[in-house]
Amino acid sequence: MPDVTDSLRVSTARALVTTGALLYIPSNVIPVMTMTVAGKTEQLTVLGGVKELWDSNLPAIAGVVFLASFVVPFLKVVALGWILWLHGTDRHQGARDSIHRIVHRIGSWSMIDIFLLSVLAAVGQLGALGSVTAQPGAIYFCGVMISCLLAAEIYKPRLIWESRSHTAP
Amino acid sequence: MSPIGKKTFQPALALSVAGLFALLLANTSPVLIFDVAGRIQAGYIVTGIKELFMQGYWPIAALVFVASMLAPAVYLSSVAYVSAACSMKLRLPWILQALRLSEWTEPWNLIPVYSIATVVSVVKLRMIGAVSWNDGARWVLAVALLTLFAQQVFERRLVEHRLEALGLVTNPEDA
């Protein structure tokens, strides 16, 4: 029988994934940074940054940022939500286990936008000539990232197999 | 006889110690040099963290600090400590705590992601002005590669067996 710690793990992971899903919307709507270039200020959302790279004829870099900053967080929320939705049932246990491991492995790549902001803020402090400042969207983006990372850490893959047997195959 | 040879833990020890040196150098050398209309600015890893903090975004600054400085340092130190103990068959204190610490910090050690973000930032900054790599960027890349290799060769299962053989744990589940 699952112990109290395990049920606490499941409910905490569910709460974290719900938080991540709720924060995902503002993280993509509200700008994450403001860039000032030669006196002209522009606010950039996650997708705005991708579009800027695409418009600059850098499709490969735009693709990497799009995948890491937009697709991966979305898939993480959906995948963890699906895994937790089916918790305690026998359905798709093998697939859930594999997806959990993939989420755990690739999930951290969504931090690329936050690190990008940090590197740009480090060198982009030249006033009107060229500067970068953070915007509230970055806080929501961090929230999505931390919620999903903690949820994947708290909900151990062994819990997926609990309904059929008490140990992983 | 234990199937685990002395050499099993030496790659993890070598990679983690090398990673710690590279991390130290990555944090003490500028990563990028940015030049707009003759005004030059050098950026260290810590400069971005400090700047985000100064802008009032301390949660982001804290996250970047943990993921790019603290977690890599703690992860590499704990892997080096555990690998040294296992490799030299030493009964070092707090070895189980160090093993747990390596597990807790591994998902937060995001220096490989930081190295990719550095590449993307160079591309973005080239739209504004002249940007050049500095030694710090090379050391960040070195830490990223050494971390990825260390994660591959540092096997918890083998560590548990060695700790069991040293009499530090009776049940691998305790580790």
Buried b (16+ CB within 10 A) or exposed e, A26-55: ebbebbbbebbbeeeeeebbbebbbebbee
Mean pLDDT, 10 residues at a time, over chain A (169 residues)?
73 95 94 85 88 85 88 92 90 88 83 89 77 91 91 87 56
Tens-digit pLDDT profile for residues B133-162: 888 999 999 999 999 999 999 988 888 888
Nearest CA in chain B to A35: B128
Q: What is the mean pLDDT of chain B?
A: 87
Alpha-carbon distance values, A127 to A49, A123, B60 (Å): 20, 11, 22
Partner residue facing B43 (CB), from A58, A123, A139: A123
Residue showing tokens 């992601």: B113
CA A133, CA A127: separation in Å to the nearest integer? 11
Residue showing tokens 């418009």: A55
pLDDT at A138: 93
A39's torsion region: left (phi>0), alpha (psi -120 to 50) or beta? left
Structurally, how many domains does chain B consist of?
1
- Residues 6 or more apart whose Cβ sits within 8 Å of residue A89: A163
Among A118, A150, A167, which would you mutate to test the B interface (most chain B Cβ atoms within 10 Å of its Cβ)? A118
Instruction: Identify the bridge partners of residue B36 per DSSP, sorted by sequence position.
Output: B39
Among A119, A145, A166, which would you mutate to test the B interface (most chain B Cβ atoms within 10 Å of its Cβ)? A119
Looking up residue B14, the CATH number of its domain turns out to be 1.20.140
Tens-digit pLDDT profile for residues B83-102: 999 888 888 888 889 999 99
pLDDT at A169: 44
Tokens found for residue B68: 């790019």
CA B134, CA B130: separation in Å to the nearest integer? 13
Tokens found for residue B53: 């903090």
pLDDT at A64: 87
Phi, psi angles (nearest 5°) of residue A49: -65, -40
Could you tell me if A37 lies within 8 Å of chain B, comparing CB atoms?
A: yes
3-state secondary structure of A130: strand
The dihedral through the CA atoms of A52, A57, A58, A60 has a sign that is positive
Which CATH fold would you assign to the domain A4-161? Butyryl-CoA Dehydrogenase, subunit A; domain 3 (1.20.140)
| Residue range of the domain that includes B50 | 6-168
For residue B173, name the pLDDT band (cuts at 50, 70, 90). low
In a domain, B54, yes or no: yes
pLDDT at B1: 45
For residue B4, name the pLDDT band (cuts at 50, 70, 90). low
CA B93, CA B111: separation in Å to the nearest integer? 28
Tens-digit pLDDT profile for residues B6-39: 568 899 999 999 999 999 999 999 998 888 878 8
In a domain, B123, yes or no: yes
pLDDT at A4: 57
The ipTM value here is 0.84
Q: Can you give the length of chain A in residues?
A: 169
pLDDT at B60: 93
Among A101, A103, A115, A144, which would you mutate to test the B interface (most chain B Cβ atoms within 10 Å of its Cβ)? A115
For residue B171, name the pLDDT band (cuts at 50, 70, 90). low
pLDDT at A168: 45
Could you tell me if A30 lies within 8 Å of chain B, comparing CB atoms?
A: no
CA A165, CA A147: separation in Å to the nearest integer? 28
Contact call for B64 and A115, based on CB within 8 A: yes
> What percentage of residues in chain B have a pLDDT greater than 90?
47
Q: Give CA angle at A46 (A41, A24), nearest 5°.
A: 130
**In A, which residues are within 8 Å of B43 by CB distance?**
119, 122-123
CA A2, CA A155: separation in Å to the nearest integer? 13
pLDDT at A105: 79
